[in-house]
Structure 1
Amino acid sequence: MMKKLTLLAIAGLLAFSAQAQTTKGTLVLTGKLGYSQSKSKHDRDRNTPRSEFEQYNYTVSPSIGFLIKDNLEIGVRAHRYKLHHGDANYFENVKSNWENGENNKGVSVYARQYKYLTEKLALHGTLSSGISNQVITYASNTDGPYPYTSREERDAILVNGSLSPGITFFVSKKLGIQAGLGALTFNHSVTDSFREYTLYNTPPYELQRREDTIKRNVLQFDFSSMHLNFGLSYFIGQ
C-alpha cells in the first residue's frame, strides 16, 4: 500500500490591521509541514523470496521574520526532519533485516528581499546561514547458519549557507503562498562515526568496532524539481 500526504501549516491566525504585505514593521509567520509513508508486504506463501518494506519521513519547519524596511525581511527558522526505512527478506528459512534512519534538527537566520511583478505576485531571494545536527544510523542482521550483525552511526555537525530563489503569491493582504526551487549551498561538516559488526567466518563471532572522524566541505548548485518546496506565510501588520 502506498500513500503520500503533504500538509502545509499556517502559524498565526489573528490579525489586527489591513496594512500591505511587505511594508516596514510587518511580522511574518511561516510554517512548513510534510509527511510521507509507504509500505509493502508480500504473501509469504506465494512469493519466494519474500520481502517486506516500510518507510516514513516528516519535516517540520516554522520561522518568524520581521520587515526591517519595505520588502526586506530578516528572521530565524528552526527545522526538524526524521526518516525511517526498514526492509525484511525471507529466503530458505533465513531472515535478513535492514534498517536506516536519519534525524536532523537545527536553526538558521535569513534575509529575504521581495521584488513585485504584480500586486499579488513577487519574486524573492533568500540568503540564509545556520547550524544543524544530523544523526544517521544503519543496522542489519542475518540469522541462519552464518549469522551476521552490523550497526553504524554517523553523528555530524553541519554549518551551512545558501542562496535560493522563490516566488510568493499573495492570496490576500495577510496570506501568501510561497514556492522555492533549489539553492546554491555551501556545507561544512564534521562527522564522527563508528561501525560495529561480527565476522561469521571467525568464531566465536566477536564484535568488531571501527571509529573515524571526517571533515568535509561541499558546494552544491541544484535547482531541479526534486527540491521544489511550498510554504504558507502570514503577514501581521502594525
Structure 2
Amino acid sequence: MKHKLTFLFFCLTLSFGMAQNKKDYSNGVPITKGTWFSSLSLSANSRTGENDRQLFATYIEQQRNGFNLRVDPGYVIKDNLGIGIGLLYGSRKDESIQQSSDGVISNVNSAERKFEIRPYVKNFIPLGESNRFYIVIPTELQIGFGNGIQETTTDGVLTREFTDGIYYGLGMRPGMLVFIRENFGFEVNVGALGISRTIITSEATGLPDSKVNSGDLSLKINLLELSLGFSIYL
C-alpha cells in the first residue's frame, strides 16, 4: 500500500509541476461540449503468504490473484462536464492451506467473478492553460452482480459453497488525466467516498441456505481500488 501511495503522489506531483512549468499547446485537448471519449483501465492485485497468522486460523500457504477490467465510453454535454456508462468485469482466485486454532488443516480453494454497470457524471478541472493536465472527479451509480464457489477439503471430506451476490451503491473515483499525445491520455483513479449495499445468498453442502444483507459507508480514499488506464478523446 505504501508503494501505491508513493506512486500516486509522484504522478500527481509530476503532472502538476509540468502543468505549471511547461506550456505545450500542441497535444492539449480542450474538454468542450460535443467531445466523445472512451477509456480502458485495469487494476490488479496479488498476495502470497506463508505461515501467516490470522485471528482464527494460520495460512500455511496462500496464493491470491485478482483483476478488474473496465471500459468507460462517454460524451461531454457541457464544457468540462461529461456523462457516460462504465462496464466492469472482475475475477479473483484464492488457493490456500489453512490450520484452524484447534490444529485442523484444510485445503481451501475459491474463485469469484463479477460484472458491474456504472453510469457516471465526470467533472474535468484543467490545470494550467495547456489543456494537457486535468483533475477528474467521476461520481457514479454502481450496480453489480457476481457469483463464486469455495471448496474446502478437511480430512478427505469435500465441502462446496456457492454464492450469488447483488451489489449497488454510489461512489466517487477522483484522479488525474494527462494527455501524452494529441487526443490520447493516461488516467489514474482511486476509490473514495462511497456508500453501498450488498446482498449475498449461499448454498453449502450439508448446511441450510443463508442470506446476508450488509451496508457500507466509506469516507476515505481506498488505495486498494487504484486503477490505471488510457483514454481517447475525439
Percentage of identical aligned residues: 20
CA positional deviation for 1:123: 1.1
Deviation string for 1:46-76 (max 9, x for gaps)? xxxxx76544323211110101111111001
Aligned to 1:48: none
After TM superposition, the score normalised by the length of structure 1 is 0.71
Please point out which of 120, 133, 136 is paired with 1:110. 120
1:189–1:233 CA distance, 2 compared to 1 (3 A): same
Query: Aligned equivalents of 1:53 and 1:19: distance in 2?
Result: 46
1:158-177 matches, cutoff 5 A? 158-177=167-186
Q: Secondary structure at the match of 1:182?
A: strand
Q: Do the aligned residues in 2 keep the contact of 1:21 with 1:173 (CA within 8 Å)?
A: no
Please point out which of 86, 89, 95 is paired with 1:86. 95
Query: Aligned equivalents of 2:159 and 2:219: distance in 1?
Result: 34
CA positional deviation for 1:19: 8.8
CA positional deviation for 1:213: 1.7
Aligned to 1:186: 195
1:31-110 matches, cutoff 5 A? 31-35=40-44, 53-87=62-96, 96-110=106-120
Please point out which of 214, 217, 223 is paired with 1:216. 214
CA positional deviation for 1:229: 1.9
Aligned to 1:130: 142
Query: Aligned equivalents of 1:224 and 1:109: distance in 2?
Result: 20
Aligned to 2:229: 231
Query: Aligned equivalents of 2:134 and 2:105: distance in 1?
Result: 55
Q: Secondary structure at the match of 2:181?
A: coil
Query: Aligned equivalents of 2:154 and 2:215: distance in 1?
Result: 36
CA positional deviation for 1:37: 6.1
Aligned to 2:7: none
The alignment covers a number of residue pairs equal to 193
Structure 2's unaligned 5+ residue stretches are: 1-26, 51-59, 99-103
Q: Secondary structure at the match of 1:225?
A: strand
Aligned to 2:23: none
Q: Do the aligned residues in 2 keep the contact of 1:66 with 1:75 (CA within 8 Å)?
A: yes
Please point out which of 133, 137, 141 is paired with 2:153. 141
Higher helix share: 2
CA RMSD of aligned residues (A): 2.7
